[in-house]
Structure 1
Amino acid sequence: MTTWADFHAPSIDDVEALAEAAYARLPEEFRALCEGVVIRVEDFPDDETLREMSCETPFDLLGLFRGLGLAQGGGLMQTGQFPNMVWLYRRPILDYWAEHEESLGHIVTHVLVHEIGHHFGLSDEDMEAIEAGAA
């Protein structure tokens, strides 16, 4: 019998797998518009990101979109331009999970949809509808 004593905290690879599964559940037409967006999972944001986002602690940021979103004319890659990226931060996500009554999969999906939503310049209502479609 497996008990809680046998479990370990989800690794970066585990969170990446959750993010990939969440992405695969997103509506197909939404995923088609995401072509070229790279999803990365790290334990924490780097120091530069923490300063840029005015974070008081490394746990303040669950995810981040970096790049030139479609709302800013970023639909076409230009020479020398980094790809648009969504960062998910494992440790802050796990900390949030420990404090709330939501599944880890739901939280990862929520953060992923929210950050991709920045890529499109979507409203909160639009992002909620997409997230509901991925449930």
Structure 2
Amino acid sequence: MSHPGQPLRFAPTPQEIETLALEALSRLPDPFNAHLSDVVLFVEEFAPADILKEMEIDDPFGLTGLYSGRPVGQEAQTGDVPPTVHLFRRPLLDEWVETGVPLDALITHVVVHEIGHHFGLSDIDMHVLEDMVAS
């Protein structure tokens, strides 16, 4: 229930999640941002069942993001689709509520981690990059 003078607040929409993700991407420093023009961003409610099965994840809330594509530097093959980052809205919102981490920081964390796969970064490198783009 809202209080007088305060608007009702609903869960962030896929568009709001996308906006936060794009803002996180825009903060990536050179040379990373120069290699992101071909990366496609999707916001979906959950990961598809076949992806969860392939990754041996039983709980659909267990996957917040996914990178698909060849890392930078690997030779492209005929028929390759553009690299993609998928963010899964409901698991992100669940983690947001459970952890109390600000939503923009959580989305930045997931986006940087998935983009880190695009660049073939180690987990340590991803944490360094995340610290660089923290809002």
Q: Same fold (TM over 0.5)?
A: yes
Which residue of structure 2 lines up, in the alignment, with residue 123 of structure 1?
122
Which residue of structure 1 lines up, in the alignment, with residue 10 of structure 2?
8
CA-based RMSD of the aligned residues comes to 1.4
SS at 2:31 equivalent: helix
Once residues 118 and 81 of structure 1 are traced to their aligned partners in structure 2, the CA distance between those partners, rounded to angstroms, is 17
Which residue of structure 1 lines up, in the alignment, with residue 106 of structure 2?
107
Amino acid at match of 1:42: E
User: 1:130: how far off?
Assistant: 1.1
Residue 18 (str. 1) matches residue 20 (str. 2): yes
User: 1:79: how far off?
Assistant: 3.1
Once residues 33 and 14 of structure 1 are traced to their aligned partners in structure 2, the CA distance between those partners, rounded to angstroms, is 24
Identify which range, 20-29 or 37-46, moves more after superposition: 20-29
Paired residue total: 130
1:35 paired residue among 30, 34, 37: 37
Once residues 134 and 46 of structure 1 are traced to their aligned partners in structure 2, the CA distance between those partners, rounded to angstroms, is 29
Once residues 122 and 71 of structure 2 are traced to their aligned partners in structure 1, the CA distance between those partners, rounded to angstroms, is 14
Amino acid at match of 1:88: L
Amino acid at match of 1:19: A
Greater per-residue helix proportion: 1
Identify which range, 21-30 or 43-52, moves more after superposition: 21-30
Runs of 4+ in structure 1 off by over 4 angstroms are: none
Structure 2 runs not aligned, ≥5 long: none
Structure 1 runs not aligned, ≥5 long: none
User: 1:70: how far off?
Assistant: 2.6
Identity percentage of aligned residues:
45
TM-score between both structures, scaled by the size of structure 2: 0.90
TM-score between both structures, scaled by the size of structure 1: 0.90
Once residues 120 and 19 of structure 1 are traced to their aligned partners in structure 2, the CA distance between those partners, rounded to angstroms, is 17
Which residue of structure 1 lines up, in the alignment, with residue 78 of structure 2?
79
SS at 2:61 equivalent: coil
